Amino acid sequence: MKKITINDVARHAGVSKKTISRVLNQEPNVSSETRKKVEKSFTELGYRPNPQARALASSQSYLIGLLYPSQSNSYVSNIQKGALERCRAEGFHLVIYPEDHENESLISQFESNLNSSNLDGIILTPPFADMRKLLDLLKEREIPVVRVGAISALDSIPSVISNDAEASYEMCRYLISIGHHKIAFIKGHLDHGATEQRLSGYTKALKEAGIPILDQFIQQGNFSFESGEDCARRLLSLKVPPSAIFASNDYMAAGIVKVAKQKGISIPHDLTVTGFDNAPASRYIWPSLTTIKQPITEMAIEATRMLIRIIRKKPLEKLSTTIRNELIVRESSAPAKT
């Protein structure tokens, strides 16, 4: 079966190529009569426009790239979900690029991806959203970009962020409100801007409440389950251990829960543990985790919407959008014992 092209349709409908193109692209200046005639030809011939040809002629690929850290987790799937929702609605396709942000040759590798794909635009997630070199490369290439969860404020590049510092503050306010003042904090990976933000909410809340900030109560994790275990072991063997541990993501919190249980410490009776992200695992473990729900999917939806506007050369309402986090209280937190 031969491929039907625009020429076949033009012949069949008795009009010019350009008119077919007009109907295809929903341009004005086509009488509804001709339009109907052409559409009839479409179905009769089973015409399907060739995306490559359109891409070449219009220099649009309808491909959007998504760059994210290759270490897979629930963040990634939520980002994908959101981006796909908009892409689908707008007729775009999503091409995924998980990359190791510590990879030395990241830039050159990504550049070769760029060369072989002609993406219409790119969505950058942490920590890529803050990588200067990458942003420069994309700018030089004049590829539209939207950043998700970026920390650094670059007024030239649109971004969607969440209020991590505030949410972290809110979590600590909550812990203090139920009587905790020996509150420990586990930091995330240093390369992620969120790490600093989440810590700042913690210190702010404690300071405000007049609770001294103790070095030994602030542990360095890296967002992994294992690092949560390590930090928990250190914290729980302190002479004066915390009554509550706030881990800056759920995987680390899960690690704490595990270590606590192994030590026979009952959660939340003896120890309150809270996380951040509302990862699926936060519901699967027992007790389920009190955590912060990050609106990741929503952020990706908004970022993709913005990106497509840029691609279409429509003006952006604002350069930066903030979507708010939400505290979710579940089973892993309880009032401090008096």
Partner DNA sequence: GTGAAAGCGCTAACAT
Partner DNA sequence: ATGTTAGCGCTTTCAC
Would you give the distance in Å from CA 213 to the centre of its chain? 31
Instruction: Name residues whose C-beta falls within 8 Å of residue 321's C-beta, 6 or more positions apart in sequence.
Output: 159, 160, 161, 302, 306
Nearer to DNA, 115 or 156 (CB): 115
Binding-site partner at residue 219 among DNA, a second copy, none, CB < 5 to 8 Å by type: none
Give the shortest CB-308-to-DNA separation in angstroms: 17
Q: Minimum distance between the CB of residue 40 and DNA, rounded to whole angstroms? A: 14
**91 interface partner picked from a second copy, DNA, none, CB below 5 to 8 A per type:** a second copy
Task: Write each residue from 223 to 262 as x if it is in contact with DNA (CB under 7 A), else as -, in one continuous string.
Answer: ----------------------------------------
- For the record, the structure tokens of 128 come out as 């890529």
CA 145, distance to chain mean position in Å, is 14
113 Cβ partners below 8 Å, 6+ apart?
A: 65, 97
Site size toward DNA (CB under 7 A) is: 31
| Residue 108 interacts with a second copy (CB under 8 A): yes or no | no
- Contact predicate 65/117, CB 8 Å: yes
Q: How far is the CB of 119 from a second copy (least distance, A)?
A: 9
337 binds a second copy (CB under 8 A): no
Strand residues in the chain grouped as ranges (E): 63-69, 93-99, 121-124, 145-148, 159-162, 183-187, 218-220, 244-247, 272-274, 291-293, 320-323, 326-328
Place of tokens 């600590």: 172
SS3 assignment, position 327: strand
| Least distance in angstroms from the C-beta of 115 to DNA | 10
Of 14-73, binders to DNA (CB under 7 A) are 14-22, 24-25, 28-31, 33-35, 48-50, 53-54, 56-59
Binding site for DNA (CB under 7 A): 3, 5-7, 14-22, 24-25, 28-31, 33-35, 48-50, 53-54, 56-59
